[in-house]
Amino acid sequence: MAHEPSPNWHGTTILSVRKDGKAVIAGDGQVSVGQTVMKSQARKVRRLADGSVVVGFAGATADAFTLFERLEGKLEKHGGQLERACVELAKDWRTDRYLRRLEAMMAVANENVSLVLTGSGDVLEPDDGVIGIGSGGNFALAAARALIDRDDMDAEAIARRAMKIAADICVYTNENVIVESV
């Protein structure tokens, strides 16, 4: 009997928007296995470091929680310096035999900076303050970039509208959105 590959997990759209001194990270609630919605109200956005850092993850849940714990430890070790903590986590993620197998991406933000972390060792700060990751990340990213210059919308309004647009396009994204801000 042939070995069946594990099911293809989808279902995350994470968007970070920074505007007028405020940063938000929004995440939808859908988790899908193949073509089946397994959960519609997953919480993919969390606060770390006593609420001063907001993190959203795309990828395997257990892997994301491992990375949350590691990032929290790096933040404690480096006195809450987000950039330094993220660089140290990215180095570990790329070089550690266990961490290298983790399948996730993270968007992180504090009052000063927004970053994307990947298992390839990337720690990237977007030029325009907008980050989109996950299945519907590019849809949400495009929508947020189209809305970012509107004077009548703050960071949270942009994130919520962009997430709605992504949910209308991406079958792996729903409208159950959690938003956290710093």
For residues 82 and 55, is the Cβ–Cβ distance under 8 A?
no
* CATH value at residue 99: 3.60.20.10
- The answer to whether position 153 is within a domain reads yes
> What is the pTM assigned to this prediction?
0.91
Q: What is the pLDDT of residue 24?
A: 98
- The answer to whether position 2 is within a domain reads no
> In which domain, by residue range, is 111 found?
9-181
- The answer to whether position 4 is within a domain reads no
Mean pLDDT by 10 residues, the chain (182 residues): 42 93 96 87 93 92 86 96 96 80 87 92 94 95 98 98 97 95 96
- The answer to whether position 63 is within a domain reads yes
- The number of folded domains in the chain is 1
Per-residue burial over 144-177, b if 16 or more Cβ lie within 10 Å, else e, is: bbebbeeeebebbebbbbbbebbbeebebbbebb
41 exposed, middle or buried (CB, 10 Å; 0-12, 13-18, 19+)? exposed
- The answer to whether position 122 is within a domain reads yes
- The answer to whether position 66 is within a domain reads yes
- Residues catalogued as catalytic: 12
- The answer to whether position 3 is within a domain reads no
Q: What is the pLDDT of residue 160?
A: 98
- The answer to whether position 149 is within a domain reads yes
